[in-house]
């Protein structure tokens, strides 16, 4: 275990897991996935620390009911005493315009961020970190401090063009700074199952990167997700997945890879794959 992540051990001998949701393009659904992960873990009784490192503040706006006075930008500037949580729920350290001023790659501010996250580890079970759409010091700090990273991607042509650069950054951080960083994979998001172009791009993605860098599943486009976010609550369809028992979750994970292959040729298979996504993510992050 690296020195950075070894220091994240809490008083009970365990680790507060930090899961980073990262991509270097906007509009790929990072915040949507991040807030649903926060809701998911909270519903399972976990103490969730949500860090919004994007000055657009989409995640912290959706989770505004769980916000407080501390902004995420403060974690880079000074020692911060994050209030503990005694039971399951969400605490948000929101995004703000101050994040735009954190641009210089400075080892001191990266270390300050990591130290603040480490110091909160005894009071939380998992941190969900929503990152900005351009790679910089905030993304770098999150990846250095994190244990897991998930990369939502869009299947439009322009979004796919940047995947190699995204992977180079993630792999580079793992090799140079954080050998314990586990890449959960690229997760195709908002797939329009009736779009020949997107389905062809999904097929090309599988052929180009194989299974090593791809998450076992895709997320289809659903209008209900946007409507639920506007109402600041989880999508009802996702909520049904959250209530599934462990045995069902394991079965969904076991069939996820098979369903992804079928999804290339069968649009209806997308719904089956989508049902596994949060169970798969949670299982990976809790290992």
Task: Please give the residue range of the domain that contains residue 250.
Answer: 3-286
pLDDT per position as a tens digit, 35-77: 989 998 999 999 999 999 999 999 999 999 999 899 999 999 9
pLDDT per position as a tens digit, 182-203: 999 888 887 777 788 888 888 8
pLDDT per position as a tens digit, 123-142: 999 999 999 998 999 999 99
Task: Sort 65 into a burial class: Cβ within 10 Å, 0-12 / 13-18 / 19+.
Answer: exposed
Residues 6+ apart with CB under 8 A from 147: 5, 8, 15, 17, 18, 19, 180, 181, 182, 285
Domain count for the chain: 1
The encoded tokens of residue 21 equal: 């949701």
CA distance 94 to 134: 18
The encoded tokens of residue 111 equal: 């270390």
**CATH number assigned to the domain comprising residue 197:** 3.40.50.300
> Which H or E run includes 151?
strand 148-153
């Amino acid at each position: 275990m690296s020195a950075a992540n070894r220091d994240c051990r809490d008083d009970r001998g365990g680790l507060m897991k930090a899961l980073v949701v990262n991509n270097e393009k906007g509009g790929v659904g990072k915040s949507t996935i991040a807030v649903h992960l926060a809701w998911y873990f909270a519903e399972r009784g976990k103490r969730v620390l949500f860090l919004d490192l994007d000055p657009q503040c989409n995640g912290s706006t959706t989770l505004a009911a769980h916000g407080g006075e501390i902004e995420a930008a403060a974690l880079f500037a000074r020692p911060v005493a994050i209030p503990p949580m005694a039971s399951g729920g969400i605490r948000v350290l929101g995004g703000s315009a101050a994040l735009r001023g954190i641009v210089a790659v400075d080892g001191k501010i990266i270390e300050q961020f990591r130290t603040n996250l480490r110091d909160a580890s005894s009071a939380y079970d998992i941190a969900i970190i929503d990152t900005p759409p351009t790679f910089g010091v905030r993304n770098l700090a999150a990846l250095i401090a994190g244990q897991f990273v998930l990369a939502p991607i869009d299947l439009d042509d322009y979004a796919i063009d940047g995947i190699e650069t995204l992977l180079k950054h993630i792999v580079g951080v793992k090799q140079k700074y954080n050998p314990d960083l586990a890449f959960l994979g690229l997760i195709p998001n908002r797939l329009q199952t009736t779009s020949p172009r997107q389905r062809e791009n999904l097929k090309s993605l599988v052929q180009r990167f194989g299974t090593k860098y791809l998450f076992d599943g895709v997320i289809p486009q659903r209008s209900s997700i946007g409507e639920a976010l506007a109402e600041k609550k989880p999508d009802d369809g996702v909520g049904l997945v959250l209530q599934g028992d462990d045995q069902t979750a394991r079965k969904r994970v076991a069939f996820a890879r098979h369903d992804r292959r079928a999804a290339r040729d069968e649009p209806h298979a997308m719904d089956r794959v989508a049902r596994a996504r949060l169970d798969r993510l949670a299982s990976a992050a809790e290992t």
